[in-house]
Amino acid sequence: MEAHAARTLDEAGTIEPGIIVYGCTASSAVGDPDGYERDLNDKAGYSAVTEKAALVSAFKPTASR
C-alpha cells in the first residue's frame, strides 16, 4: 500500500475530498505518527489523517480527565 500512496493521493485529489483517512496500519505504525501524517498532508494538498495519529491523540491525557 505504501508504494502506491502518492499515486492514490493524486487520484483521490481529483474528486477534491474534504479529508482522506489513511488506514494502512503497517506503514503508518513505523516512526513518528505526527510526522507521517504531516507528510501525507503535504503530498495530498488537503487534510489527511492516519489511524495511528488518531489513536495517539485519543490516548493523550487532557486537563479535563
Summarize pLDDT for 29-58 with one digit per residue, the tens.
677 877 888 888 888 888 888 888 888 888
Domain assignment present for residue 64? The answer is no
Domain assignment present for residue 32? The answer is yes
> Whole domain around residue 27: which residue ranges?
2-59
> In this predicted structure, what is the pLDDT of residue 13?
80
pLDDT of 1 above 70: no
**Mean pLDDT (whole number) for 7-34:** 78
Question: How would residue 25 be classed by pLDDT, with cut points 50, 70 and 90?
Answer: low
- Enumerate long-range contacts of 48-54, CB under 8 Å, 24 or more apart: 48/9, 48/19, 48/20, 48/21, 48/22, 49/19, 49/20, 49/21, 49/22, 50/21, 50/22, 50/23, 51/21, 51/22, 51/23, 51/25, 52/25, 52/28, 53/28
Question: Which pTM does this prediction carry?
Answer: 0.61
Domain assignment present for residue 10? The answer is yes
Average pLDDT taken over every residue of the chain: 79
